[in-house]
Structure 1
Amino acid sequence: MSQQTPPKVGFFGALSEFRKWAVLILIGLVLSFGYKFFTTKSETSSIEYDTNLIQQQIKNVGKLVVTEGHFAEVLTYKDRKETYIPGLSFDKKALVVINADVTVGFDLSKVKYDIDAKNKTVTITNIPEEEIKISPDIKYYDTESSTFNEFTGDDYNKINKLARENLKKKIDKSTLKSNAKNRLISELSKILILTSSMGWTLKYDGEVVNNNQEFQYKIKG
């Protein structure tokens, strides 16, 4: 029984076989790199996404935070004009009742910050001062004056100034300012929550803010 000799593969046949494997390997590499390219987020894209998200969050809290209160004040205004005659004077007086609506607010659109994308750090560089608005309703009762010492515009300006000064003292003693700051901290804490969840660092007043208590301490200082 004769044994068949396997066909010889010529040079060109071997070259064709090599090309086939080369093409298959090339296709495999292209598919592999393509998969990684489309499924793996680049570091640059990630940083840009994080930066845009943080900027949007800061923009979202950039509103006017307002705390409202109502105060009442009763005062007696007196003015005396002396004469050259001993014991003779011209007096005027009035009972003044003031009801005032007061707002204490923070305009968070004025918050200034720096974003260091490379080091993943957000630094709040400035928080605006509180804005206090007093809207008094002033009523006069039991007004008494004389011909030689009548009420004038200067008197009403003095009463208005005095009323505002007294109201400011009441506001300072009230919880209105502290309540406004609590609302301020609550809004800014949203930035802290976001940066922490994304692995970024938040700084204020030159120091890292790790939690809401530290934020509260630094702002109320």
Structure 2
Amino acid sequence: MWLIIFIVIGVVLFKYFTSEKPTETTEYNTDLIEQQIKNVGKLVVTEGHYSQVMTYKDQQKYLMNLVTFEKKALIIINADVTVAYDLSKVKYDIDQKNKTITIVSIPKEEIKISPDIQFYDIDQSTMNPFTGADYNKINKKVKSDLARKIEKSKLKTNAENRLVSELAKILILTNTMGWKLEYKNQVIQTESQLGKTLNL
């Protein structure tokens, strides 16, 4: 009789302990992953500097183009540029049951251009002087020109590489813990694959 009681108690205890451990392990793994995502969720900033020289010209014509008043200036631009990814805005989903973390969305880069514009060799007339409208037009053109350069520059590439490196920290953790990382319906297995999936 006592033997049967001990056997029943043993079976109950065995089931109790074996059923609790996976749940505790899953919760522990999930906590680790969430903490890692929080660590990755920072502002990644890549900085650069650009210099540019341009000549600005404008003409005002009167009397059916018979009289022309021209203004022009040599302009030197020095600009500080930053390309940033705010990784705190990364949206993700954690599936404890299937041990999968899915990246739902990644924020687009934020490009900030801060130009210092200096005017030299200014030539203007009282009929066609430099005005605030000219400065606004020049500032807009400078930022537009720089934005095109940045798109093709190493600065943008370096920022994208840093983005991949930060997100790869989550990939390393999930691989180590036997979880999967997914993005755009693909299971991500390597850092290079992550970069390709991001279209970088």
Q: Same fold (TM over 0.5)?
A: yes
* Alignment pair present for 1:159 and 2:138: yes
List per-residue Cα deviations over 1:50-94 (Å, max 9, x = no partner): 111111111110001111110011111111000106542111111
* Alignment pair present for 1:123 and 2:123: no
One-letter amino acid of the counterpart of residue 161, structure 1: K
Q: Mark the CA change 1:85 to 1:205 in structure 2 (over 3 Å): closer, same or farther.
A: closer
Q: How does 1:25-104 map to 2 (within 5 A)?
A: 42-84=21-63, 87-104=66-83
Identical aligned pairs, as a percentage? Answer: 56
Partner SS, residue 142 of structure 1? strand
Partner SS, residue 147 of structure 1? coil
* Alignment pair present for 1:220 and 2:196: no
**Does the CA-based 8 Å contact 1:74-1:95 persist in structure 2?**
yes
2:156 maps to which of 158, 177, 188: 177
Q: Which residue of 1 aligns with 2:188?
A: 209
**Does the CA-based 8 Å contact 1:62-1:107 persist in structure 2?**
yes
Q: Which residue of 2 aligns with 1:193?
A: 172
Q: Distance in 2 between matches of 1:214 and 1:112?
A: 19
Q: Which residue of 2 aligns with 1:136?
A: 115
One-letter amino acid of the counterpart of residue 53, structure 1: L
- Report how far residue 173 of structure 1 moved: 2.3
- The structure number with the bigger radius of gyration is 1
Q: Distance in 2 between matches of 1:117 and 1:39?
A: 18
Q: Distance in 2 between matches of 1:43 and 1:169?
A: 53
Number of equivalences: 200
Q: Which residue of 1 aligns with 2:124?
A: 145
List per-residue Cα deviations over 1:115-143 (Å, max 9, x = no partner): 11111111101011011000111111111
| Structure 2 unaligned regions, length at least 5 | none
* TM-score, normalization by structure 2: 0.91
| Structure 1 unaligned regions, length at least 5 | 1-17
Q: Mark the CA change 1:173 to 1:202 in structure 2 (over 3 Å): closer, same or farther.
A: same
Q: Which residue of 2 aligns with 1:109?
A: 88
Q: Which residue of 2 aligns with 1:11?
A: none
Q: Mark the CA change 1:86 to 1:154 in structure 2 (over 3 Å): closer, same or farther.
A: closer
User: Going by fraction, where is strand more abundant, 1 or 2?
Assistant: 2
One-letter amino acid of the counterpart of residue 146, structure 2: L
Partner SS, residue 42 of structure 1? helix
**Does the CA-based 8 Å contact 1:111-1:124 persist in structure 2?**
yes
- Report how far residue 206 of structure 1 moved: 1.0
